[in-house]
């Protein structure tokens, strides 16, 4: 019985890991396809590409601030910005402590280190 239980436990771990990784790869593919479709839509002129960069920067800042307020505000007052390398450590810590998603963590880190 114990032997069977061990096998079942191992298989459960593998299945869980597989499902999570598959979900992760699927998510990454969706993000990649969105990025590539946005890139292909862009016109070759430098004016359009620079306006696209400004738009992406604005979007990133907007999303970063939104996610920063939503996630950090769940527990405490939003802190001031710290130096970039320090912020990278603190955000990694908070990702583990507050189970922040990977996507949110990157948006928040980019926003906090701008």
> Which spans of this chain sit near other proteins (rule: CB under 8 A)?
2-3, 6-7, 10-11, 13-14, 17-18, 20-21, 23-25, 27-28, 32, 66-67, 70-71, 73-77, 79-80, 82-90, 92-93, 95-104, 106, 109-110, 113
CB 41 → other proteins: shortest distance, Å?
Answer: 21
Q: Least distance (Å) from other proteins to the CB of residue 34?
A: 12
Q: In Å, how far from its chain's centre is CA 21?
A: 15
Alpha carbon distance 34, 24 (integer Å): 15
Ramachandran class of 79: left when φ > 0, alpha when ψ lies in -120 to 50, beta otherwise: beta
Residue nearer to other proteins on the CB measure, 55 or 92: 92
Residue 45 beta carbon to other proteins: minimum distance, rounded to whole angstroms: 25
> How far, in Å, CA of 76 to CA of 94, rounded?
12
Q: Nearer to other proteins by C-beta: 22 or 42?
A: 22
């Amino acid at each position: 019985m114990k032997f069977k239980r061990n096998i079942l436990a191992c298989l459960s771990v593998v299945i869980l890991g597989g499902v999570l990784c598959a979900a992760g790869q699927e998510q990454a593919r969706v993000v990649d396809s969105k990025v590539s479709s946005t890139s292909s839509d862009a016109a070759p002129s430098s004016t359009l590409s620079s306006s696209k960069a400004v738009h992406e920067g604005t979007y990133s800042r907007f999303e970063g601030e939104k996610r920063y307020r939503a996630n950090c505000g769940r527990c405490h007052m939003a802190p001031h910005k710290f130096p970039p390398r320090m912020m990278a450590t603190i955000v990694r810590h908070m990702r583990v402590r507050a189970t922040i998603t990977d996507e949110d963590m990157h948006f928040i880190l980019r926003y906090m280190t701008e």
